[in-house]
Structure 1
């Protein structure tokens, strides 16, 4: 039958994963770094995922496709629930939501002795949407934009990344990226920032934070180099620029 259905342009898709949790039917998964429609009969063609693609890679087209099958959707959700319960992975194909457990080795446990560290936080609030764009402490500051999982994954966050900087934190998967971009644009416009660093997790959806900041710098009209630091789930740091 000819009907409306989601089409994903893989040339535009950057694998951020923001569309995955916004497809209630579970029809989209991240495969080999790209969002893919896993089965025609799981897509209702209503396009609830469209507004969550920052790359405009998702559109609704008309083509020959199997009819939408609600029973198949229910079966997929039941299978995902079984996998997440019994095998500790799943959650709609989004890598950032996959359950993982890390166990300390004997050597790690021996090294984790009690050490008292001083917080390097020098302002409040820190949540991006709560920090005023004209907060006085932002002027002439080194700004650290942090995906909110980073301080939990990277043990040396305070001394290595936060020290000497002002910080804003957020989650690109749970919040509105357009609002993030607007807020960051105003922060950059209103303040003579000395530098900007973004610390983000390796999971695909976290790249949305990088994209929001890159778009904000561009929209601000200022020429500021963006320093990118990627943190792996097991706490390793990688400088990308």
Structure 2
């Protein structure tokens, strides 16, 4: 053992989102009982690549006595993970990955009571550009200019029934998942979109689950890095489809 740099995880700050897990190429972090844990000292190289993936600021690099980093142990560990088909998240991990059923009772709004055959509603699509995925959109495009930018976590349009009329109308949009994609890439891409185009304002729509806050963090950091003074409005959507 020797005194060296190694990851330390603050369990009080950790919300179990799991964004750090795929951010560690050595597989040295896993979610246990809803908290990120270091699997073994010898699997951590101490470089801290996982730090930028944590929206809670729960990870830092410290110096302490620890086993030396062991590349052979890492290779064996990663091979075992692949062979066993271990999932990054499992029971007791990220709340956003927890399976649940949303039971919807018949809801009656006292403002409107009508039989289904009496009313036909058609909602005009409000999408004014293509593509929409943050991984695919160009950094410079005419459709960014003069509009508000709506940054949407990709579960939001499924959960929020009034997405098109209430959120999307009149805006340009990008869509992504901070849990499944590279958050560092998101920050870089958003920074350039904001920097090189005439963005009038930004709204970020995200789900209430902890891992989705990575999208909010990415937007805030992108605005900071762009050097522009743009207000960011944050819109949180509950799992049962309500604006909070």
Q: For 2:191, what is the secondary structure of its paired residue?
A: helix
Corresponding residue number in structure 2 for 1:94: 94
Residue among 137, 156, 160 paired with 2:162:
156
Structure 2 counterpart of 1:85: none
TM-score, with structure 2 as normaliser: 0.72
RMSD value, Cα:
3.7
The question of whether the paired residues in 2 share the 8 Å contact of 1:22 and 1:48 is answered with no
User: Which residue of 1 is the match for residue 172 of structure 2?
Assistant: 166
Tell whether the 8 Å contact from 1:45 to 1:60 is kept in structure 2 after alignment. Answer: no
- Report if aligned partners of 2:154, 2:176 keep a CA contact under 8 Å in 1: yes
Where in structure 2 are there 5+ consecutive unaligned residues? 68-72
Alignment of 1:75-94 (within 5 A): 90-91=90-91, 93-94=93-94
Distance 1:112 1:3 in 2: 73
Matches within 5 A, 1:197-208: 197-208=203-214
d(CA) in 2 for partners of 1:214, 1:136: 23
Question: Offset of 1:90 from its aligned partner?
Answer: 4.2
Deviation by residue 1:111-143 (Cα, 9 ceiling, x = unmatched): 995632211111110011211111111011111
Asked whether 1:236 is paired with 2:242, we answer yes
Quote how far apart the aligned CAs of 1:106 are. Answer: 3.9
Taking the aligned partners of 1:46 and 1:202, their CA distance within structure 2 comes to 33
Query: Retained in 2: the 8 A contact 1:47–1:60?
Result: no
Count of residue pairs brought into register by the alignment: 216
Measure, in 2, the Cα distance between the counterparts of 1:132 and 1:112. Answer: 46
* Equivalent position of 1:8 in the other structure: 9
Please, what TM-score do these two structures have when normalized by structure 1?
0.73
**What do residues 18-54 of structure 1 show as CA deviations (whole Å, max 9, x unaligned)?**
12456757743474xxx443xx7x4364138942332
